[in-house]
Structure 1
């Protein structure tokens, strides 16, 4: 429908206002429930900061490092080129040349790992580095 032929009062505005009203009502109900739970007589009161024990920095660092390595480790196995092994992969178009008796040189040396569906761990230089840093 052309812009000039649209009705002056579209229904979409009414639905938008109704959605905002439902969202605001839900937020008010959830906020009231949270406040009522916080004001419950059996709720625990947080301790003052000076009564807390000291944090073991070594254990906290080891836990953070373990979380990062286990969180980022699977990323090294993800396929880098989403179009790999398809007929429309632009990196699969290689060009090469050979001069005299020297070894042929081409772009497939650089893009070959990616067009075969390789991940970061499969790359020649970055792969061993990521295997040392991330499990």
Structure 2
């Protein structure tokens, strides 16, 4: 006979909360003792408060990783969109059952003839998003800009 039971989540003990509080106090004390040294090392830092110096050091420490993260995200997004940019939009293109393969045209008097083939033609031939007349150059430029 198999015994089945329910899993229970253990609540953190008060001792764990005390350890976390001691750790936070130690980190705060270490940062607080570093502020006067940072004020002496920084040019013009003698007139700044400890909070201003700590905020400046924190901002300097966060800018470089954030810049790298944003750049990496842009490269990944650009590469992903580049592959979407090259996908065939009409799955039925170049088949006998493609509804976009039909076009309608008309000519009134001696005006230039009008037809829907200019719009549906590229899709019926299996064009991708990058091959479309107006949208293609925009999406290509956007994905190339993201990948830089």
State TM-score, norm by structure 2: 0.54
1:87 aligns with 2:87: no
Q: Do residues 122 (structure 1) and 131 (structure 2) align?
A: yes
2:122 matches 1:96: no
Displacement of 1:114 after TM fit?
Answer: 0.3
Q: Under a length normalisation based on structure 1, what TM-score does the superposition of the two structures give? A: 0.59
Distance 1:72 1:104 in 2: 37
Q: Deviations over 1:43-68 (max 9, x none)?
A: xxxxx896xx9442111100100011
CA distance in 2, matches of 1:94, 1:127: 22
Q: Deviations over 1:100-122 (max 9, x none)?
A: 22111111121111001000001
Task: Count residues with an aligned counterpart.
Answer: 89
Please tell me whether Structure 1 or Structure 2 has the larger radius of gyration of its CA atoms. Answer: 2
Point out 4+ residue stretches in structure 1 off by more than 2 angstroms: none
Q: CA deviation at 1:129?
A: 0.3
